[in-house]
Protein backbone atom coordinates (compact mmCIF):
# COMPACT_ATOMS: atom_id res chain seq x y z
CA UNK A 1 0.00 0.00 0.00
CA UNK A 2 1.35 3.43 -0.98
CA UNK A 3 0.60 6.45 1.20
CA UNK A 4 0.67 9.82 -0.50
CA UNK A 5 0.83 13.09 1.42
CA UNK A 6 -1.71 15.70 0.43
CA UNK A 7 -0.34 19.19 0.01
CA UNK A 8 -2.44 22.34 0.52
CA UNK A 9 -4.11 23.71 -2.63
CA UNK A 10 -1.65 25.82 -4.60
CA UNK A 11 1.37 24.22 -2.92
CA UNK A 12 4.13 23.48 -5.43
CA UNK A 13 6.65 21.86 -3.12
CA UNK A 14 6.99 18.13 -3.42
CA UNK A 15 9.11 17.64 -0.27
CA UNK A 16 8.19 18.33 3.32
CA UNK A 17 9.85 21.39 4.80
CA UNK A 18 11.01 21.20 8.40
CA UNK A 19 10.06 24.15 10.63
CA UNK A 20 13.22 25.76 12.01
CA UNK A 21 11.83 28.76 13.89
CA UNK A 22 12.39 27.47 17.43
CA UNK A 23 15.07 27.65 18.52
CA UNK A 24 16.44 30.24 16.10
CA UNK A 25 18.82 28.77 13.51
CA UNK A 26 20.99 31.05 11.40
CA UNK A 27 22.76 30.86 8.06
CA UNK A 28 25.33 33.09 6.40
CA UNK A 29 23.95 34.48 3.14
CA UNK A 30 25.51 36.18 0.12
CA UNK A 31 29.05 37.23 -0.70
CA UNK A 32 29.05 39.54 2.33
CA UNK A 33 28.04 36.62 4.58
CA UNK A 34 25.27 38.41 6.45
CA UNK A 35 23.18 36.45 8.95
CA UNK A 36 19.71 35.28 8.06
CA UNK A 37 17.27 33.25 10.14
CA UNK A 38 16.24 29.89 8.73
CA UNK A 39 12.44 29.53 8.80
CA UNK A 40 12.18 26.13 7.13
CA UNK A 41 14.34 23.71 5.17
CA UNK A 42 14.00 20.66 2.96
CA UNK A 43 16.50 18.76 0.83
CA UNK A 44 15.43 20.88 -2.15
CA UNK A 45 15.25 24.37 -0.66
CA UNK A 46 15.05 26.80 2.22
CA UNK A 47 13.00 29.69 3.58
CA UNK A 48 14.88 32.55 5.19
CA UNK A 49 14.13 35.76 7.07
CA UNK A 50 16.59 38.45 6.02
CA UNK A 51 17.05 42.08 7.01
CA UNK A 52 17.65 43.25 3.45
CA UNK A 53 16.05 43.03 0.03
CA UNK A 54 17.06 40.15 -2.23
CA UNK A 55 15.95 40.05 -5.85
CA UNK A 56 14.24 36.91 -7.16
CA UNK A 57 16.10 34.93 -9.83
CA UNK A 58 19.39 35.70 -8.10
CA UNK A 59 21.92 33.00 -7.25
CA UNK A 60 23.39 33.28 -3.75
CA UNK A 61 26.02 31.56 -1.69
CA UNK A 62 24.67 30.23 1.61
CA UNK A 63 26.56 28.66 4.48
CA UNK A 64 24.47 26.36 6.63
CA UNK A 65 25.73 25.60 10.12
CA UNK A 66 24.35 22.66 12.04
CA UNK A 67 22.26 23.51 15.07
CA UNK A 68 25.11 22.28 17.28
CA UNK A 69 27.66 24.41 15.41
CA UNK A 70 29.86 21.41 14.68
CA UNK A 71 29.21 21.12 10.93
CA UNK A 72 29.00 23.50 7.95
CA UNK A 73 27.66 23.04 4.44
CA UNK A 74 28.37 25.56 1.69
CA UNK A 75 25.48 25.61 -0.81
CA UNK A 76 24.26 27.58 -3.79
CA UNK A 77 20.73 28.96 -3.55
CA UNK A 78 18.54 30.09 -6.45
CA UNK A 79 16.14 32.72 -5.08
CA UNK A 80 12.58 31.90 -6.13
CA UNK A 81 10.69 34.62 -4.23
CA UNK A 82 11.35 37.56 -1.93
CA UNK A 83 8.46 39.13 -0.05
CA UNK A 84 8.73 42.25 2.13
CA UNK A 85 7.38 41.76 5.65
CA UNK A 86 7.90 45.27 6.98
CA UNK A 87 10.46 48.06 6.60
CA UNK A 88 13.33 45.87 7.76
CA UNK A 89 12.55 42.23 6.95
CA UNK A 90 12.15 40.03 3.88
CA UNK A 91 10.94 36.44 3.55
CA UNK A 92 13.09 34.72 0.94
CA UNK A 93 12.46 31.29 -0.52
CA UNK A 94 14.94 29.47 -2.66
CA UNK A 95 15.90 26.17 -4.23
CA UNK A 96 19.20 24.33 -4.00
CA UNK A 97 20.40 23.42 -7.53
CA UNK A 98 22.20 20.52 -5.85
CA UNK A 99 19.83 19.18 -3.16
CA UNK A 100 20.94 18.20 0.32
CA UNK A 101 21.08 14.47 0.87
CA UNK A 102 18.93 12.95 3.59
CA UNK A 103 22.09 12.39 5.68
CA UNK A 104 23.26 15.99 5.21
CA UNK A 105 19.88 17.37 6.25
CA UNK A 106 19.73 15.13 9.31
CA UNK A 107 23.28 16.13 10.31
CA UNK A 108 22.41 19.83 9.99
CA UNK A 109 19.23 19.48 12.02
CA UNK A 110 20.75 17.48 14.88
Residue 11 lies inside a defined structural domain of this protein: no
Could you tell me which of 48, 64, 58, 52 has the C-alpha nearest to residue 99? 64
| pLDDT of the residue at 36 | 93
Q: How many domains does the chain have?
A: 1
pLDDT tens by residue, 31-53: 888 999 999 999 999 999 999 88
Q: Please give the model's pTM, rounded to 2 decimal places.
A: 0.79
Q: Quick one: pLDDT at residue 15? A: 65
97-109 pLDDT tens trace? 999 999 999 888 8
Residue 4 placed within a domain: no
C-alpha distances (whole Å) from 69 to each of 16, 29, 39, 55, 72 are: 24, 16, 17, 29, 8
Residue-number span of the structural domain to which 98 is assigned: 18-109
Within-domain flag for 3: no
| 10 falls within a domain | no
Instruction: Give me the pLDDT at residue 87, please.
Output: 74
Residue 13 lies in a domain: no
Query: Is residue 3 pLDDT above 50, yes or no?
Result: no
Let me know if residue 36 belongs to a domain: yes
CATH of the domain at 28: 2.40.10.220
Amino acid sequence: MRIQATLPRGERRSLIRHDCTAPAWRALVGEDLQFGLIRDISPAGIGLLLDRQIDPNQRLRIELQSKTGALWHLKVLDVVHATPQNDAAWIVGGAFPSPLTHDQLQALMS
